[in-house]
Amino acid sequence: MRRREFVISLGGAATAWPLALSAQQKAMPVIGFLNGRSPDEAMSIVTAFRQGLRETGWIEGQSVAIEYRWAEGRFDQLPALAADLVERKVDVITTAALPPTRAAKNATSTIPIVFLGTDPVRDGLVAGLAHPGGNLTGFSNINVDLMPKRLELLSELVPQIRVIALLVNPNNPTGESIIEAVQEAARAKRLEVHVLKAGTESEIETPSLPSSDRGPPPSSSVAIRFSIAGGSSWRR
């Protein structure tokens, strides 16, 4: 199932049940939408989320209100944004990645949280997939599992590839898992991985590079950069 379909399901089926209960108590329930990206970066997710809500009878501004909170890549802001949603007494909080989900989980144990995550059991968000327990529920995607496949496809498209540059946001908890997945896949193909770390736009211009890796890359190198903060990927 594609990411967009995940989010449509997230916005529809999983979010509807706490809203239905809340609608019995007040005129218009409120969803807290917590995201680590910027509105422009997450536009497709927001569109799919609204579509999922409409398909279950919830229309923004008419039958439900949505409070948006954007960290814009600054993950250290997520706890404060989550606390603000809790203070505003939203009826449910929805998230689409580990950092905002973890921030929401730390902010409240009573407000329902609906998430889209990578491995919620491994990440300590829920007790189990069948019986998550607590106030969290949602969907699990395979973003980390797809990273080796992306590297495999790249090596097929560019057979001369010898060196991979992996751009990682060190503030993102999922970054280490992706680094491990890419490095393992690279070893199997005898490729070299240079991990570059940058947590802000300015740092992307001059990412942190281990001293042993400094110097011009070999002529056979190809950079494949994964924007861990935004959840998207690009290469050059």
**pLDDT for res 148:** 84
Rounded CA-CA distance 72/201 in Å is 10
Partners of 127 in beta bridges: none
**pLDDT for res 197:** 84
Grouped pLDDT means (10 residues each) for the chain, 236 residues: 52 57 69 95 92 93 96 94 97 93 96 87 82 87 77 88 85 80 90 85 65 45 41 34
| Domains and their CATH numbers in the chain | 3-140 (3.40.50.2300), 143-235 (3.40.50.2300)
**CB proximity list for 109: less than 8 A, separation 6 or greater:** 134, 135
Nearest-10 crossing angle of helices 43-55, 15-23: 60
Rounded CA-CA distance 35/167 in Å is 21
Instruction: Return the residue matching tokens 């999983």.
Output: 14
Nearest-10 crossing angle of helices 175-188, 143-157: 40
**pLDDT for res 210:** 52
**pLDDT for res 170:** 81
Rounded CA-CA distance 53/167 in Å is 35
**pLDDT for res 49:** 93
Sheet with 30-35: list strands edge to edge: 65-70, 30-35, 92-95, 113-117, 136-140
**pLDDT for res 92:** 97
Q: Give the HSE-up count for residue 77: Cα atoms under 13 Å, Cβ half-sphere.
A: 13
3-state secondary structure 88-153: CCCCEEEECCHHHHHHHHHHCCCCCEEEEECCCCCCCCCCCCCCCCCCEEEEECCHHHHHHHHHHH
**Burial letters for 146-172: b for 16+ Cβ neighbours within 10 Å, e otherwise?**
ebbebbeebbeeeeebbbbbbbbbbbb
Tell me the one-letter amino acid at 143.
Answer: N
pTM for the structure as a whole: 0.60
